[in-house]
Structure 1
């Protein structure tokens, strides 16, 4: 074994062992579900310093678990399986998979992109915990709510605020105009970012994983469980499907893996009632690798990628400035209890990196290394959220403190503190204002103009 391969293998073992030792989740749940992971709550609350109590929350959240957003992957899997079935080239496991895909198509019909019952439940529980864990925040003054125009984001906001309706009867959800959603869908308003997503550096990095020997070999192993050898040989060369380019073995297996991830949006009861279980088709090592392949797109397009200060992160600047301004206003005016925002993974991930929250901002030189520094299931699971919780002292002349929660877990900020997870707000604010200034985004800019020009 070469030194490079040996070093990579040792790092891999360290990653696996650490995940198994320090996480209450199962191996498969922890490292094979990426941004499709259903929300997991890990109870963790450090008492506030003596004399301090929470008084305001600034929040941004992702929508809850959803049905598959488009039928792309189920169509690929279904059409290939149907073709093999017509030619009597499915194994018994292949026939079972086809029956499952048919049931998945029935479940998804007329629901693409909508929240599942599990997603609705998770969002409701997040809001209930917010109220229960921070009773001194919700004084019945005012809550301001904004969502993107996406139906699932708006429904998430509606579910979330139900918890507070009894004390805030006049809560309304505001949506920026369709052509000006610069706070929550900033990724749609930067020409430079759109170019970056399609750039050679991103495409080549993705292809390096998708076309790797490891991907090809593992895909062939999975396919051999599903098809006869004759059909496997055809699939290795490429099979033409209606309105599709040639589908090869890796394309098919990755499509099935994508459906495996999507199944995590359903409750265990739904999965059991519909006899949906893909566990026989993948080993744990295969799940780990296909997650690496599929989730690399998130890391490159909305994560730190090769530059944690790159355009894919800079574009979150308008949202960060808005959070700074709304927090300052709440502290000064003392007439609002919370600002709640609802959007998408493409909103949460760049913001988390811009904030330099632990586990979110380490860039890599080679895309194959990213799983060692960035795990989508910890950062942008379904229902992902960032909460800034503000605390004030009952004693005069004491500083305002802030605690930041990523998915309701206390996280370190890139500043020193003698009282983790609590930081002085004036120092946090200054740090982020300086960062925005270096990016060239200040209160003098309009978000739309800046996003159009930023490089």
Structure 2
């Protein structure tokens, strides 16, 4: 009778897991994007910590002993100060000659307020980015306290970009606040860029401005999905000024990025009212298109982008096996960028992260960038062992939610036998 109850419990947990994953990874719809315009921010979507669901129970007798992590830096400002400044300068100039509508004047005043915070911060980690990394570290510590025992050795490495270094630092400091004895080695060096931020020559050639069979089709898609006339006319009252000084296409895109990044800043200002929901949705489709083709598994690239993550996957396997074979415990924490996390999620074959279609109109229904690489997005692989058994179990977390690996079979979802996981990933590394 007890075995039957355990079996029922296991099946129930599996059903609950699949329902949770389905709710998180269901097909993206226009209605979803209309309801949450922040998602149209693409890779500027702030970390969805409010979407984290409870994890399933660990199989009886097993305890966590190692965690492997790759995380994107936390929330940041737009890459360059000029991404704000040229728009501000244009609106200021138009305001001086009375060429703005009341809405345009309001937008100018809002952007002036934003500039007070943004000036000098192009590409920098924002205060929210620090809080995100601290929160991820805190939840990790509380979820797997058996790993973070006194004096345990942990490795933290980041790319050489400052926002990644500061993300690593915020994450590591939070862990040490819980247990000051933790021995965390923090490194940022070109030595580790060969796997933390690797791109094959084939991928670079495909993305080059004069390369890639995808570019002409994308140009037409972007052209048909960028309709700036309504927006520009709502901001400028002088048609002559528009003709002489305003590039409608460039302005619409610049305001789109500013609007999307406001969720990562401290200044409480929004620009979404400048756009119609369909306009935001259309612009986001263009950005999602580029990411899908240039960093993920669109049929247009033939799967070559997964090669960018192979050195990283090799490091993940080697680092894990080093701990396993030493019968030790610890953690390996890596910090990089969206362009690294997208191919890694695809190569790992995380559910919803490696689908491949060829029709641009279907891209967003199959693959959505904000679900895979929000600010501070991360993949965690947690390792478990049982005294007296050599069967290592692992489970995968994407943004701290359990996720499945469909090509790998398991009788204990969301957990997998490490021997099966390692064998599958080794086969991918060996496949040229």
Q: TM-score range by the shorter chain?
A: 0.7 to 0.9
Match of 2:392 in 1: 400
Shift of 1:72: 4.0
Q: Contact 2:100–2:238 (CA<8 Å) still a contact in 1?
A: no
Whole-angstrom CA distance in 2 between matches of 1:53 and 1:170: 21
Change (3 A) 1:368 1:82: farther
The match for 1:360 is 353
Distance 2:240 2:88 in 1: 15
Aligned-residue CA RMSD in angstroms? 2.2
Give distance in 1, aligned partners of 2:141 and 2:337. 22
Distance 1:26 1:50 in 2: 41
Distance of aligned partners of 1:249 and 1:95 in 2 relative to their CA distance in 1, 3 Å threshold: same
Q: Is the 8 A contact 1:66 1:116 kept in 2?
A: yes
Alignment partner of 2:337 out of 322, 327, 344: 344
Query: Do the aligned partners of 2:149 and 2:182 also contact (CA within 8 Å) in 1?
Result: no
1:329 is aligned to: 322
Match of residue 209 from structure 1: 221
Q: How far apart in 2 are the matches of 1:172 and 1:418?
A: 37
Taking a change above 3 Å as real, the CA distance of residues 108 and 233 of structure 1, as seen in their structure-2 partners, is closer
TM-superposition CA deviations, 1:52-74 (whole Å, max 9, x none)? 22111011111100111113432
C-alpha distance after superposition, 1:311-369 (max 9, x if no partner): 32212100000101111111111234101111111111111011111111112212232
Q: 2:428 aligns with which of 407, 414, 435?
A: 435
Distance 1:148 1:211, change over 3 A: same
Deviations 1:294-323 (A, max 9, x none): 333222221212257533221210000010
Residue 221 of structure 1 aligns with which residue? 230
Output one character per residue of 1:52-101: Cα deviation in whole Å (capped at 9) or x when no partner. Answer: 22111011111100111113432442243234334322100001111222
Match 1:387 to one of 380, 385, 388: 380
Residues 102 and 66 (structure 1), Cα distance of their counterparts in 2 relative to 1, 3 Å cut = same
Counterpart residue number, 1:443:
none
Aligned counterpart in structure 2 of residue 33 of structure 1, from 41, 50, 54: 41
CA contact (8 A) 2:296 2:303 kept: no
Deviations along 1:31-54, one digit per CA (max 9) or x if unpaired, are 312110111121230111122221
Deviations along 1:377-412, one digit per CA (max 9) or x if unpaired, are 111000011000011123x33521110001111111
- Inter-partner Cα distance in structure 2 for 1:305 and 1:84: 42
Correspondence 1:122 to 2:114: no
Which whole-Å CA distance do the structure 1 matches of 2:331 and 2:399 have between them?
Answer: 17
The structural deviation recorded for 1:265 is: 0.6
User: 1:104/1:206 Cα in 2 relative to 1: closer, same or farther (>3 Å)?
Assistant: farther
Task: For 1:334 and 1:342, locate their aligned partners in 2 and report how far apart those are by CA, in whole Å.
Answer: 26
Q: What SS class does the counterpart of residue 211 from structure 1 fall into? A: helix
So what's the TM-score if we normalise by structure 2?
0.86
Matched position secondary structure for 2:395:
strand
Q: CA deviation at 1:15?
A: 4.1
Unaligned ranges ≥5, structure 2: 1-26
Structure 1 residue aligned with 2:412:
419
* Whole-Å separation in 2 of the counterparts to 1:67 and 1:303: 24
SS across alignment from 1:126: helix
Give the match for residue 147 of structure 2. 137
Alignment partner, residue 77 of structure 2 = 67
Q: Which runs of 5+ in 1 are unaligned?
A: 1-13, 241-246, 440-455
Residues 165-209 of structure 1, C-alpha deviation per residue, up to 9 Å, x if partnerless?
23445422122336x61111113xx33222111224343243123
Q: Secondary structure at the match of 2:408?
A: coil
Q: Residues 29-178 of structure 1: matches in 2 within 5 Å?
A: 29=38, 31-41=39-49, 42-140=52-150, 141-165=152-176, 166-177=179-190
Aligned to 1:171, the other structure's residue is in SS state strand
SS in structure 2 of the partner of residue 110 of structure 1:
coil
* Structure 1 residue 155 displacement after superposition: 0.7
- 1:387–1:404 Cα contact (<8 Å) kept: yes
**TM-score where L is the length of structure 1:** 0.82
Q: Distance in 2 between matches of 1:307 and 1:329?
A: 38
Q: Is the 8 A contact 2:133 2:170 kept in 1?
A: yes
In structure 2, the residue matched to 1:313 is 306
Q: 2:197, 2:340 within 8 Å by CA — same for their partners in 1?
A: yes
Task: Give yes or no for the alignment of 1:259 onto 2:258.
Answer: yes
Matched-pair contact (CA < 8 Å) for 1:308–1:353:
no
Answer yes or no: is the 8 Å Cα contact 2:99–2:241 preserved in 1.
no
